[in-house]
């Protein structure tokens, strides 16, 4: 996701939101489907005792075997195919030799490049059997993503997306992360617009921050990727300069889809072909 305060790739990133052609949709369908298939493949491997490095290796091999590129490798110095954000990690957790423990919840986020097009998606996974509280956070976060998606249609605004997510999350007693947001994508990984997951909030200086009222138009491509915290919204960055964790150490969850605005609503590029969009994944041993 994009850092809200700064602009990534200032050279590549355009100020205006691109409007894409029907051929561009085909490019995004291929990229989105491969990213989703990669997350489907991972579902059977997430379990207590497995390292996040192993998951990263599996994802990299999968992407390369399918003739695609892992977009995160080399991105701003990042060296891995996926981000693996466990429990109180908000996002950008780095794969490591540490093993998953029974009850962990982990977000796995992958971005692939197929023929120059970016497919960016993430889901939560359960290692063993997480507590009810952790499962509820994942359920609510999944529903937050969908509350946002349901607002996507021509004439609605980016603020409608943020409002819907914030309202649902806060009504469930959770908070919306403000430090990271969704983003335009296509041939560029992180493009305009910023897609914030709140409608409005007041910061500690009592200053009001409002989501932009940018009107959605057919042909826009962007991600929605809400990060929802069990406790307070504030995060902090670890010394590795990647891993963002909740300041109060409360659990955090996230789901992400890449999608387009269409004439009548939306098209999601990263739906799971195996219907493994949301845990628990009861996996048949075929």
Name the site residues for Co ion (rule: CB under 5 A). 1, 109, 120, 122, 223, 256
d(CA 101, CA 253): 17
Instruction: Name which position in 13, 50, 53, 75 contacts ligand MF3 (CB under 6 A).
Output: 75
What pairs with residue 267 in β-bridges? 260
Is residue 72 within the footprint of ligand MF3 (CB under 6 A)?
A: yes
Least distance in angstroms from the C-beta of 4 to Co ion: 13
Residue with tokens 């590029």: 269
Among 56, 120, 143, 191, binds ligand MF3 (CB under 6 A): 120
- Among 48-56, 72-80, 136-144, 161-169, which window interacts with ligand MF3 (CB under 6 A)? 72-80
Site string for ligand MF3, 217-236 (x = CB under 6 A): --------x-----------
256 sits near ligand MF3 (criterion: CB under 6 A): yes
Site string for ligand MF3, 79-118 (x = CB under 6 A): ----x--------x----------------x-x-------
Per-residue burial over 154-188, b = 16 or more CB atoms within 10 Å of its CB, e = otherwise: bebebbbbbbbbbebbeebebbbbbbbbbbbbbbb
DSSP letters of 12-54? T--SSPP---HHHHHHHHHHHHHHHHHHHHHHTT--TT-BHHH
């Amino acid at each position: 996701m994009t850092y809200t305060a700064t602009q990534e790739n200032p050279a590549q990133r355009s100020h205006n939101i691109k409007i894409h052609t029907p051929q561009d949709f085909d490019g995004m369908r291929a990229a989105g489907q491969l990213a989703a298939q990669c997350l489907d493949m991972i579902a059977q491997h997430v379990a207590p005792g497995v390292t996040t490095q192993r998951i990263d290796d599996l994802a990299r091999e999968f992407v390369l075997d399918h003739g695609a590129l892992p977009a995160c490798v080399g991105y701003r110095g990042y060296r891995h195919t996926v981000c693996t954000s466990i429990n109180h990690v908000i996002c950008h957790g780095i794969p490591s030799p540490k093993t998953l423990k029974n009850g962990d919840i982990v977000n796995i986020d992958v971005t692939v490049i197929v023929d120059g097009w970016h497919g960016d998606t993430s889901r939560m996974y359960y290692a063993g059997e997480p507590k009810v509280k952790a499962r509820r956070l994942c359920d609510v976060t999944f529903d937050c993503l969908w509350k946002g998606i349901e607002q996507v249609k021509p004439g609605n605004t980016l603020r409608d997306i943020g409002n819907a997510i914030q309202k649902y999350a806060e009504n469930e007693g959770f908070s919306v992360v403000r430090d990271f947001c969704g983003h335009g994508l296509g041939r560029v990984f992180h493009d305009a617009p910023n897609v914030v997951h709140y409608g409005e909030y007041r910061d500690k200086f009592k200053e009001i921050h409002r989501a932009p009222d940018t009107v959605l138009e057919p042909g826009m491509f962007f991600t929605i990727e809400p990060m929802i915290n069990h406790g307070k919204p504030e995060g902090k960055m670890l010394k590795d300069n990647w891993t963002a964790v909740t300041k109060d150490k409360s659990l955090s969850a996230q789901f992400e889809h890449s999608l387009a605005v269409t004439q009548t609503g939306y098209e999601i590029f990263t739906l799971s072909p195996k219907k493994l969009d949301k845990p628990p994944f009861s996996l048949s041993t075929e």
